[in-house]
A and B are shown apart, each in its own frame.
Chain A
């Protein structure tokens, strides 16, 4: 592998610790969404899940290496899983979500990390996550209109809360200068 792609020690540590911190941050969001569980019934709960895809969008935005999306999302999901006691299932969902994001970044050859790419990554994370839910919670038997509401919601949420939000936070972090020496600041 070209040395450009080799992971430096500081990048590995930063990726892991950043993902853990993100997992802790998600924990706060969990309380908020818990209040909205009634919306589960009509599929609108999916409007708020995008925040949980940010491991696959924010982390690679800051650490632009192949695998960052997958690892970031899985690690953050595991932390979230431990803190909220969902356990291993959280890791499996994280894997699906991370894979979705990773695919998008791979599609752009790990060269583009702008808003559009992040939103696409968030959206695909959402779709894959929904597919997993489809089997795990057996949506097959549900009425078709519920599926449509769910998929549209998860795509919107993934793009906005998973992509746009990650982009805003990521740029905020870059402007603080903590990433100096690791990525270029645009404009």
Chain B
């Protein structure tokens, strides 16, 4: 993982990120999502040493989702029973209830997305899987299968692009997107299955099935500091959550 987090377990950090997500998922107010969004950003930039530019670059295209939700809810909220108060914003007259709902929903989405992106910026799946094999008892067969799959992604991407090119040349540019879907999938996936079977042989001959007591080149034990990080975060999150509830800012709402 990056920055100071490099001293900690990626799995521990995953648990921490989940604790940021939970309050937001349970809330329906404009404050809670923002509070945990900020907490996440603090961890990201403060401990993870992620650069702001990189974060913005990745978040950018994803903003379409919260914005879309904002518009959807602004326009289509069922305002019966709440239809009397209106707010004037520039040249628009907006129903206050709908506006409030749309805002909250958009903020929630924004918060959830950025918290989960944050995890990806700080660590990768390979580190997480390695940590889980050593700390949480993820079976090596499964863990290494995930490595195989991960390593194969460039191969699959390239295959997909080549298959499409070959189809285009064969069909002289005629577009057959829908009719091509099944043959393209069959070609790509049959190759993937064969690749998997070969990889299984390679893993088997190197003894993965006999691994009763497996050693690791790079040891990733769960350490005291991981407990501290987890406990510390839990305390902060619990504290913030309690304050939000106590001050009435938190509003429970699932839908």
Contacts and interface: CB of A to CB of B under 8 A. Distances in A.
A85 B117 contact: yes
Measured as residues with beta carbon below 8 angstroms from the partner, the interface class of chain B is 35 or more
B71 A41 contact: yes
A82 B119 CA distance: 11
A168 B182 contact: yes
Contact of B68 (A16, A19, A40, A58): A40
A17 B197 CA distance: 9
B255 A139 contact: yes
Contacts of A37: 64, 68
B185 A169 contact: yes
A137 B199 contact: no
A141 B149 contact: no
Given A24-B156, A173-B186, A13 B113 contact: no
A55 B145 CA distance: 17
Interface string B109-139: 1001101110110000100000000000000
Contacts of A83: 153
Given A9-B209, A41-B72, A17 B196 contact: yes
Nearest to B157: A24
Interface string A146-171: 10000000000000000001001100
B195 A17 contact: yes
Interface string B181-205: 1111110111111111101100110
Contact of B116 (A20, A22, A86, A172): A86
Contact of A87 (B98, B113, B177): B113
A89 B116 contact: yes
A98 B117 CA distance: 22
Contact of B145 (A17, A79, A137, A144): A17
A144 B78 contact: yes
A38 B237 CA distance: 37
B148 to A, nearest CB: 6
Given A28-B160, A137-B109, A20 B28 contact: no
A21 interface: yes
Nearest to B77: A141
Contact of B156 (A10, A21, A173, A178): A21
A142 B191 CA distance: 45
Given A17-B152, A37-B68, A41-B72, 10 more contacts: A9-B203, A13-B200, A14-B197, A16-B145, A17-B195, A17-B196, A25-B184, A25-B188, A142-B73, A176-B186
Interface of A: 9-10, 12-22, 24-25, 27-28, 32, 37, 40-41, 58, 62, 75, 78-79, 82-83, 85-89, 134-144, 146, 165, 168-169, 172-173, 176, 178-179
Interface of B: 17, 21, 25, 28, 58, 61-62, 64, 68-69, 71-73, 75-78, 98, 101, 104-105, 108-109, 112-113, 115-117, 119-120, 125, 141-142, 145-146, 148-150, 152-153, 156-157, 160, 177, 181-186, 188-197, 199-200, 203-204, 208-209, 253-255
